[in-house]
Amino acid sequence: MEGKEALEACIDRRVASPNCDERPAGMPISLVVLHAISLPPEVFGGDAVERLFTNTLDPAGHPAFASLEGLRVSAHYFIRRDAETIEFVPPDRRAWHAGLSCWEGRARCNDFSVGIELEGSDRQPFTSAQYERVAALVAALLRRYPSIDSVAGHCHIAPVRKTDPGPFFDWHRFAALLPPTSTARVRIAGLSSGRFLPLLLS
């Protein structure tokens, strides 16, 4: 399956987020960033994340929402606990997911990255279905965009501000689900005590 078709196969539905814009001209995508989110915290299955990314979240709907009023954020993809995957921003456009960030000396990671949100938290394991889907999605992105050479967590690009996808995200399990190939080398930032280990991917 070609990259575009493989990517389409990972998407269950699309919801357009206004929180995006054009990438800088000529900027290749070189990074995938994994996040975790739950709204309210530790609560799964509702529509609050979708509402946050579409600027329709009621700040009075829950005490945890008050601090989010006026926040304009998004991600390219959101993977629910059952692996349903929503595309909010096409990967060719710049989603507002990384915030103040830096990767390998390059600031403004939104410019050159794809952001994937997993429904989860720092306190609970992710589901098997999520691991299968995020691996399939990342593999499809790698086929679609050969310029991608790294996968990192939000915690790696904004270590002072962010902890996600958190200690319960098993980077080795994720890496083991990615298919091997001799055509590309991708660094997985969460492997082996923070060292970057090369992994052959398709």
What residues are annotated to the active site? 117
Distances in Å between the Cα of 161 and the Cα atoms of 34, 57, 102 are 15, 23, 12
Give the C-alpha separation, 173 to 117, whole Å.
Answer: 17
Region of residue 198 (phi > 0: left; psi between -120 and 50: alpha; otherwise: beta): beta
Instruction: Confirm if 152 and 186 have CB atoms less than 8 A apart.
Output: no
Token pair 């829950």 in the structure block, residue: 62
Kindly provide the b/e burial profile for residues 53-73, where b requires at least 16 CB atoms within 10 angstroms of the residue's own CB: bbeebeeeebeebeeeeeeeb
